[in-house]
Structure 1
Amino acid sequence: MATEIKAPVFPESVADGTVAAWHKKVGEAVKRDEVLADIETDKVVLEVVAPADGVLTSIVKNEGDTVLSGEVLAQFDAGGAAAPSIPAHQEPAQAGAMPISERDPAVNPVVPDSAPQTQSAQDQSPAVRKAVTENNINPADIEGSGRGGRVTKEDVVAHVAAPKAAPAAAAPTATAVSLAVGERVEKRVPMTRLRQRVAQRLLSASQDTAMLTTFNEVNMKPIMDMRKAYGDRFEKRHGTRLGFMSFFVKAATEALKRFPAVNASLDGNDIVYHGYYDIGVAVSSDRGLVVPVLRDTDRMNLAEVEKNIIDYGTKARDGKLGIDDMTGGTFTISNGGVFGSLLSTPILNPPQTAILGMHKIQQRPMAVDGQVVILPMMYLALSYDHRMIDGKEAVSFLVTLKDLVEDPALLLLDL
């Protein structure tokens, strides 16, 4: 039964998406809920899965194409069987067809070195077929740059525009090129939609806000001693390790209660004071920077914070973060220390008015009661929008957070 495979319904904040990858080929049998394609938006990557067991009969939107919410991506035959294979000795029925050994390596895994590596007509997009026909080109003569060696329209255009080499001139082999002395290689890769969006937001934050940063330092020894004393019991009871981030999340939450302006946001000429505490934790992923949000951190204990952070980190690594996971947030924490950063200036995450930057823990000589003591110290940076937050509030907020981290008992005793 023929079925249309459509793009997911995007939220109102997402206008469109891009087909990032097709994981199945035309004619390939798939199982129910197998991933057919990835749709990348400016916030997350969405998976398109098979509605039932069947066969992918045609692809309407190729990799790199822009798709709208609910737009048809492909045609699917529910309950259908995979296309029959062509015997290895039989000539393909269509000019430029892909040999069976390339279409399905499992059928004929032994491929002679001289076997042609061409693309079947059914794997070509309409634009490619038209361009090939109009220019009287054999697809076998074109080197495909698409997924799986597919020939794209750009490949055809480049092939037509390329100067024809003299027949006697032998093309350099891949080995000769890769070993050329003094070679200066460049690779041009388009930015993903997510990275484009991150770039736009960061640029907007630096241009449209009166951003200022205040710094302080925190002695991490009390927390490190607590982790050493209770870490094993904590992990045994709660099933998760006791990390540093949970202390900073809880300390930031308490400090936000005392300084509501730092937990506010700007909406045009209005200041929106939030009566809840949703703290975003910046996470670096292969696709770019993402900021999943911990909801109602004032109601979480340390174990719940740690579990949620681990869960978000796993989702970010696997590309499973949903739009709801990253929507909202009243304050953000970014930990550049995990990469070795000693000091940096974090950039605001609009419409939020402040962001906390954590850094590397460094052993440094400190003066304590007139004595020089080596302590594990961390620099803290609070960037804030000076249009909304005065310097006194920003500095007081950071000092309060520092005091809570250096003496965790203050958190337990609500002091």
Structure 2
Amino acid sequence: MATDVKVPTLGESITEATVGQWLKQPGDAVQADEPIASLETDKVSVEVNSPVAGTLSEQLVKEGDTVAVGAVIARVGEGGAAAPAPAAAAPAAAPAEATVAGAPVNPAGAGENVRPREEDDPAPQTAPTGDAALTLSPAVRRAVLEHHVDPSTIKGSGKDGRLTKDDVIAAAQAKKTESAPAAAAAVAPAATAAPAPSGERKEERVKMSRLRQTIAQRLKDAQNTAALLTTFNDVDMTAVIDARARYKDLFEKKHGIRLGFMGFFVKAVALAARDVPSVNARIEGDEIVYSDYLDVSVAVSAPKGLVVPVIRSADRMSFAEIEQAIAAYGKKAKDGTLSMDEMKGGTFTISNGGVFGSLLSTPIINPPQSAVLGMHRIEDRPVVRDGQVVVRPMMYLALSYDHRLIDGREAVTFLVRVKEAIEDPTRLLIDL
């Protein structure tokens, strides 16, 4: 008797998802609560677990299909015997699918490189490592598939020895380095005999993920709905850089986390929002909703696009709590494990394009929020201080805001307050 595998509840207001990847193929043995598929929603990736132990007998949808909450996407049969191979498959042909540590790879006809099956039986979803099992997150599984490495041979650097995406990439690079001389020697004669045609022009079409579609739609909606305007200023980072240099070792020793720039800016925004509360407000119909708390959405780059996890009540948090929250969210975004609750809400956004080298930009607000602060790279520039031209580490700041709610005077005042707090961090301590 087969058991139906249904799409689980995905969160408030989310009714459908896209099948991102099948983690198990028909005939594979599965354990109860073992992931068999990965779904992509508008915000995060969600794993679908098998409700019972047995054998995956049937896949009812394909990768890329859209499925509704509660829909049946697969069936799990009793027992652990593998299902017989299709009759149409030729014994001498290349294997239709390969398995790397239990994660399926598409057939070669789908346009992806595959590795021949090394064993007749599929490898289990978890590979034993000592007394513990090596459990792979969706992000790590994808990296294993892309780089064709054996996860059981890699030492994990994550919590409890778990593998991270960086571990897989490092192992793949080491493998490439070792095999480069032999590969170059093997390829060189072929390249001499049959040089690749010059001037070849190619195109590739890739379907947008649900996350990318949602990002595109929300950004366009913001442009169509809000009266967007951006005001700029620059800030001397000397005081913050000196404070970090003076206290970074003590801070890390006490709190177990590095002291970054974001904590200073979150604190500065909280201070400035008290003087200009409209930047922390939103429009609902014909009403303005003011918040007496500051929930900061911090834009984080994830493998599949930009995500904005929310630091709740950031105005009431210490520097250490802010930095710890940001570090935890950054790791989750990288591993693809952010939950929808962690990205809901937010009253103000901070986006740091400086980590990618951006000098200046005009960020777009994250509806229904009314303002976003853009940080940029720090670079030494000549400025005038006390009548003398000196070199200072300077950063451009950009505040994009909804002009329907925030006047130009208020936007400029807010940005000046942030600038003053960063150039004189003592203001953050004495609430000026």
Normalising by structure 1, report the TM-score: 0.79
User: Are the structure 2 counterparts of residues 99 and 332 from structure 1 closer, same or farther at C-alpha, using a change threshold of 3 Å?
Assistant: farther
Rate the CA distance shift 1:146–1:30 in 2: closer, same or farther, 3 A.
farther
CA distance in 2, matches of 1:177, 1:34: 48
State yes or no: 1:414 paired with 2:422: no
Task: Specify the alignment match of 2:50 in structure 1.
Answer: 50
1:82 aligns with 2:81: yes
Is 1:375 matched up with 2:374?
A: no
2-structure distance, mates of 1:411, 1:354: 21
Kindly report which structure 2 residues correspond to 1:375-414, keeping only aligned pairs within 5 A, or say none.
375-414=392-431
Counterpart of 1:95, as a letter, is A
**2:197 is the counterpart of 1:216:** no
Aligned in 2, Cα 1:256/1:307: closer, same or farther, shift over 3 Å?
Answer: same
* 1:102 counterpart letter in structure 2: P
Q: Secondary structure at the match of 2:198?
A: coil
Aligned 1:264-275 pairs, distance under 5 A: 264-275=281-292
Please name the residue that 1:365 is paired with. Answer: 382
Q: Which residue of 1 aligns with 2:183?
A: none
User: Are the equivalent residues in 1 in contact too, given 2:57–2:83 (CA < 8 A)?
Assistant: no
Please point out which of 332, 352, 355 is paired with 1:335. Answer: 352
Match of 1:242 in 2: 259
**In structure 1, how many angstroms separate the alpha carbons of the residues matched to 2:272 and 2:322?**
17
- Aligned positions of 1:139-288 closer than 5 A: 143-144=109-110, 179-288=196-305
Whole-Å separation in 2 of the counterparts to 1:24 and 1:58: 10
Structure 1 residue 29 corresponds to structure 2 residue 19: no
Structure 2 vs 1, CA of residues 144 and 233 (structure 1 numbering), >3 Å: closer, same or farther?
closer
Post-superposition CA distance 1:72-128 (Å, at most 9, x none): 1111135x213177xxxxxx772336779836869xxxxxxxxxxx98xxxxxxxxx
- 2-side partners of 1:302 and 1:200: how far apart? 34
Letter in 2 for 1:57: S
Note if contact 2:2-2:75 (Cα within 8 Å) is conserved in structure 1.
yes
Residue of structure 2 equivalent to 1:299: 316
Residue pair 2:258, 2:323 contacting (<8 A) in 1 also: yes
Question: Partner residue of 1:137?
Answer: none
Structure 1 residue matching 2:48: 3-state secondary structure? strand
Sequence identity (%): 54
Kindly state the Cα deviation for residue 355 of structure 1 after the two structures are TM-superposed: 0.3
Relative to the length of structure 2, the TM-score reads: 0.76
Q: Deviations over 1:130-189 (max 9, x none)?
A: xxxxxxxxxxxx94458979xxxxxxxxxxxxxxxxxxxxxxxx9999922210011011
Unpaired runs of 5+ residues, structure 1, are 86-91, 107-117, 120-141, 150-173
Q: Output the amino acid matched with 2:227.
A: A
Distance 1:392 1:178, change over 3 A: farther
Structure 1 letter corresponding to 2:317: M
How far off its partner does 1:3 sit? 2.1
The amino acid that maps onto 2:218 is R
Task: Pick the aligned partner of 1:95 from 72, 88, 112.
Answer: 88
Structure 1 pair 93–330 and aligned structure 2 pair: CA distance change class (3 A):
closer
Partner in structure 1 of residue 140 of structure 2: none
1:15 aligns with 2:15: yes
Contact residue 295 and residue 345 of structure 2 kept, 8 A: yes
Q: 1:93/1:103 Cα in 2 relative to 1: closer, same or farther (>3 Å)?
A: closer
Which whole-Å CA distance do the structure 2 matches of 1:398 and 1:241 have between them? 26
| Alpha-carbon distance, 1:31 to partner | 3.3
CA distance in 2, matches of 1:341, 1:69: 40
Structure 1 pair 52–147 and aligned structure 2 pair: CA distance change class (3 A): farther
The separation in 2 between residues aligned to 1:32 and 1:301, in whole angstroms, is 42
Change (3 A) 1:144 1:369: closer
Structure 2 gap segments, 5+ residues each: 100-105, 116-189
Instruction: Verify the 8 A CA contact 2:3 2:77 in the aligned structure 1.
Output: yes
String of CA shifts for 1:303-360, please: whole Å, max 9, x gaps. Answer: 1111111111111111111111110100000000000000000011111000000000
Name the amino acid aligned to 2:81. Answer: A
**How big is the shift at 1:71?**
1.2
Q: Deviations over 1:47-68 (max 9, x none)?
A: 1123344321111121111110
Q: How does 1:348-359 map to 2 (within 5 A)?
A: 348-359=365-376
Report the CA distance between 1:34 and its aligned residue: 3.0
Distance of 2:410 and 2:416 partners within structure 1: 10
CA distance in 2, matches of 1:300, 1:68: 39
Distance 1:84 1:212 in 2: 61
Match of 1:169? none
Q: Distance in 2 between matches of 1:321 and 1:145?
A: 30
